[in-house]
Amino acid sequence: MDLGGIALDTGLRSLAWVARRHPTWQPARWGVDVLRDLVPDPARGREHWCDVYRPMAGGEGLPLVVYVHGGSFRLLSKDSHFAAGLRFAAEGAVVVVPNYPLAPKHPFPEPLEAVLDAVVWARANATSWGADPERLVLAGESAGANLATAATLALIGVTDGLTRAPIGGPPKRLIASMGLLQTSDPGRFARRRPIGTFLDKRIRSACTAYHPNGRPHPLADPLLTIESDTPLPHFPPTHVAGAIRDALLDDSRRLRDALTRRGLPCQWHIGDGIHAYHFLPGKREGEALWRELTAFATAS
């Protein structure tokens, strides 16, 4: 990781640490109970631990959301994305937020396989938390949107290159917000419109860290798979969100267009904000997107 990446990771983790301790974000205020640092497999380390958020009011047959955190495949963790767990759980879902091993130490397909392992574990334990394993929703933003979309493809049978075959059927819904959905050809954004040296470097380093060989791959590049003629049986209804001032906006639009061309259900939201603006507290646009995302995830 370069010095810029280290500084960015440290800064974002510090902000998340402070925010999680602010009164606004206390789980009880949201009517949410949190089970932290659950260990799905004792043979594996902290990079596979999970947090579970569930409504204090309880219930049965609730939606099961597995939320995959973003962070350029190299940064952040379940702890930095506590807001996603609170938001979905407050609206009646059980939410699993997993860690996954980070690039470049752990390149593709290791992070994706860890996400799929978390899905298997979440489904196996769903009823004990009051959730229905058949109401699985895969969700994520940025790099997490890539992993959630790729996991969806794997669960419908696109498994090229995985060392551990995924278990279980497709999710009922997919949420892909402001995703970096193609890791090959990371220079495509700068060729299309000026995005600045800093963002161009961050995108290129994220892609090469996660998928070093740079060649197109069905699961490292889930967008290319959906744009291709690959059969996609049982691909679920999808919510795609983009942001007008996001350098990754083209990938979100391409995903929307590819799903629409295939006749697959797709709900589209574009906001007047920057990348992952819905994680910035107090923003009207962000609150509107969260309302849409939680309603989509919890719909029957």
- The 10s digit of each residue's pLDDT in 185-232 is 999 999 989 999 999 999 999 999 999 999 999 999 999 999 999 999
Query: In terms of Cα–Cα distance, which of 246, 245, 249, 287 is closest to 268?
Result: 249
* pLDDT at residue 2 is higher than 70: no
Evaluate the CA torsion angle 142, 147, 148, 150 in order and state its sign: positive
The pLDDT of residue 4: 58
The pLDDT of residue 184: 97
The pLDDT of residue 255: 98
E strand residue ranges, 31-110: 32-38, 50-55, 62-68, 94-98
The pLDDT of residue 165: 83
* pLDDT at residue 161 is higher than 90: no
* pLDDT at residue 115 is higher than 50: yes
Instruction: Give pLDDT tens digits for 39-97.
Output: 999 999 999 999 999 999 999 999 999 999 999 999 999 999 999 999 999 999 999 99
Give the confidence band of 256 by pLDDT, cuts at 50, 70, 90: very high
List the CATH number of the domain containing 88: 3.40.50.1820
* pLDDT at residue 1 is higher than 50: no
Give the confidence band of 6 by pLDDT, cuts at 50, 70, 90: low
The total domain count for the chain is: 1
The pLDDT of residue 128: 98
The pLDDT of residue 273: 95
The pLDDT of residue 189: 96
Give the confidence band of 9 by pLDDT, cuts at 50, 70, 90: low
* pLDDT at residue 243 is higher than 70: yes
The pLDDT of residue 281: 86
Report the percentage of the chain scoring pLDDT > 70: 96
E strand residue ranges, 160-265: 173-177, 238-243
- Secondary structure of 96-155 as H, E, C letters: EEECCCCCCCCCCCHHHHHHHHHHHHHHHHHHHHCEEEEEEEEEEECHHHHHHHHHHHHH
Tell me if the bond preceding 109 is cis, omega within 30° of 0.
Answer: yes
Residue-range definition of the domain harbouring residue 181:
3-298
The pLDDT of residue 249: 97
* pLDDT at residue 164 is higher than 90: no
Evaluate the CA torsion angle 72, 76, 78, 80 in order and state its sign: negative
Residues 111-117, mean pLDDT to the nearest whole number: 97
Instruction: Give pLDDT tens digits for 116-125.
Output: 999 999 999 9
Considering only residues 8 and 52, tell me which one the structure prediction assigns the higher pLDDT. 52
* pLDDT at residue 16 is higher than 90: no
